């Protein structure tokens, strides 16, 4: 049995949905030096060594059986963004958030089902539909987590298309990759999973026909930079669909949302043993721009069209932007 070699990931990053180095897990690809990596043919063990603080250096131990061999490539990018909040140690914050998403990875899907009564699947389908992804497209899912939006995109683009799922949390990517390998892939091609920086996407300009982001924009340290990067890698005339919690200006809606967070989200998270990890939601939503403000931010970055749609009675929202 062949095994994938060990990779190290640089930790200089400045947003909660990113890491500086980009590491991709895919069924096809090349190393950063342009040379092909040897692909194991049977049940490889993914071996990753990530020196992030709080993330112990270890082999993942995840055994995945790919249809075509398993390959890994590393793309390094020098990025150290200042973010938007003065006086905040952004490197410490991103490491803290990365630990959070790595910790909740094993129960992330179950939590989403419990917390939304399964409705998050409907919202995600709507977000993918608004992205305009179609057969044969090359598409990107930023902050992909365990891959829900990526899998929906894969169904849209079919076997002739290409899907890339990018996230900063290694454990989330491993869950996504295992989900892909454990599901039938008869109608769509393989998805490429990349550990990378949402503020400095490791892609050329105008690379994608559609982009999605699920619950990521609210978590980045610099929304301006995140939108600028989405604009850069999106092809002219194409759209990005960004799903997240909504901060409604309506008093009643905000009160209902606060009640749900305090009396549903936190108790359920406590049941799963991740109360502290979900307690930050209320604060993060309170700091999130209103829908109209998000539209203006997108317009400022050059998008020709920006519309924010409220879902679930104003509890959720989708920002749809067109380049």
Tell me: the pLDDT tens digits for 105-145? 555 556 666 565 667 788 899 999 999 999 999 999 999 99
**Residue pair 8/51 in contact by the 8 Å Cβ criterion:** yes
Mapped onto helix, strand or coil, the DSSP state of residue 65 is coil
CA 93 – CA 99 distance, rounded (Å) = 10
Q: What is the pLDDT, as a whole number, of residue 283? A: 86
Give the residue from 174, 172, 178, 123 showing the smallest Cα distance to 152: 123
Does residue 23 fall inside a structural domain? Answer: no
Q: What is the pLDDT, as a whole number, of residue 66? A: 28
CA 68 – CA 181 distance, rounded (Å) = 11
Low-confidence stretches of the chain (pLDDT beneath 50): 1-88
Does residue 180 fall inside a structural domain? Answer: yes
Q: What is the pLDDT, as a whole number, of residue 112? A: 61
Q: What is the pLDDT, as a whole number, of residue 194? A: 94
User: Would you tell me how many other CB atoms lie within 10 Å of the CB of residue 111?
Assistant: 20
Q: C-alpha distances in angstroms, 257 versus 112, 303, 320? A: 16, 30, 22
**CA-derived radius of gyration, the chain:** 19
Give the DSSP H/E element, type plus range, for residue 296: helix 291-300
Q: What is the pLDDT, as a whole number, of residue 265? A: 80
Residue 46 burial by CB count (10 A; 0-12/13-18/19+): exposed, middle or buried?
buried
**pLDDT, tens digit (0-9, with 9 covering 90-100), for 290-300:** 999 999 999 99
Does residue 158 fall inside a structural domain? Answer: yes
Backbone phi, psi, residue 145, to 5°? 55, -130
Q: To 5 degrees, how large is the angle CA 240–CA 9–CA 194? A: 30
Does residue 22 fall inside a structural domain? Answer: no
Does residue 163 fall inside a structural domain? Answer: yes
Q: What is the pLDDT, as a whole number, of residue 89? A: 52
Q: What is the pLDDT, as a whole number, of residue 127? A: 96
CA 260 – CA 192 distance, rounded (Å) = 35
CA 203 – CA 200 distance, rounded (Å) = 9
Report how far Cα 148 is from the mean position of its chain's Cα atoms. Answer: 10
Does residue 206 fall inside a structural domain? Answer: yes
pTM, entire model: 0.70
Handedness of CA 218, 221, 222, 225 (dihedral sign): negative
Q: What is the pLDDT, as a whole number, of residue 73? A: 27
Q: What is the pLDDT, as a whole number, of residue 277? A: 61
Does residue 64 fall inside a structural domain? Answer: no
Number of structural domains (the chain) is: 1
Mean pLDDT for the chain?
72
Q: What is the pLDDT, as a whole number, of residue 14? A: 32
Residue range of the domain that includes 121: 95-248+282-322
CATH of the domain at 194: 3.40.50.150
Does residue 258 fall inside a structural domain? Answer: no
Q: What is the pLDDT, as a whole number, of residue 113? A: 64
């Amino acid at each position: 049995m062949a095994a994938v070699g060990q990779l190290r990931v640089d930790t200089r990053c400045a947003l909660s949905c990113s890491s500086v180095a980009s590491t991709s897990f895919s069924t096809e690809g090349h190393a950063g030096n342009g040379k092909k990596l040897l692909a194991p043919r049977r049940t490889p063990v993914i071996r990753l060594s990530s020196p992030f603080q709080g993330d112990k250096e270890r082999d993942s131990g995840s055994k995945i059986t790919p249809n075509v061999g398993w390959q890994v490539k590393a793309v390094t990018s020098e990025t150290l963004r200042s973010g938007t909040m003065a006086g905040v140690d952004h490197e410490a914050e991103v490491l803290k958030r990365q630990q959070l998403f790595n910790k909740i990875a094993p129960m992330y899907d179950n939590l989403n089902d419990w917390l939304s009564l399964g409705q998050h699947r409907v919202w995600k389908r709507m977000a993918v539909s608004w992205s305009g992804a179609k057969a044969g497209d090359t598409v990107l899912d930023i902050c992909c987590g365990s891959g829900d939006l990526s899998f929906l995109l894969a169904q849209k683009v079919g076997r002739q298309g290409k899907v890339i799922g990018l996230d900063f949390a290694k454990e989330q990517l491993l869950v996504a990759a295992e989900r892909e390998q454990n599901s039938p892939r008869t109608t769509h091609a393989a998805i490429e999973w990349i550990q990378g920086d949402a503020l400095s996407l490791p892609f050329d300009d105008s690379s994608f026909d559609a982009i999605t982001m699920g619950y990521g924009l609210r978590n980045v340290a610099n929304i301006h930079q995140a939108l600028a990067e989405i604009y850069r890698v999106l092809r002219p005339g194409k759209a990005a669909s960004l799903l997240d919690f909504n901060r409604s200006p309506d008093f009643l809606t905000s009160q209902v949302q606060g009640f749900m967070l305090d009396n549903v989200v936190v108790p359920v998270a406590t049941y799963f043993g991740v109360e502290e990890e979900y307690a930050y939601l209320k604060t993060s939503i309170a700091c999130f721009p209103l829908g109209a403000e998000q539209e203006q931010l997108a317009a400022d970055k050059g998008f020709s069209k920006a519309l924010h749609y409220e879902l679930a009675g104003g509890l959720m929202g989708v920002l749809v932007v067109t380049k």
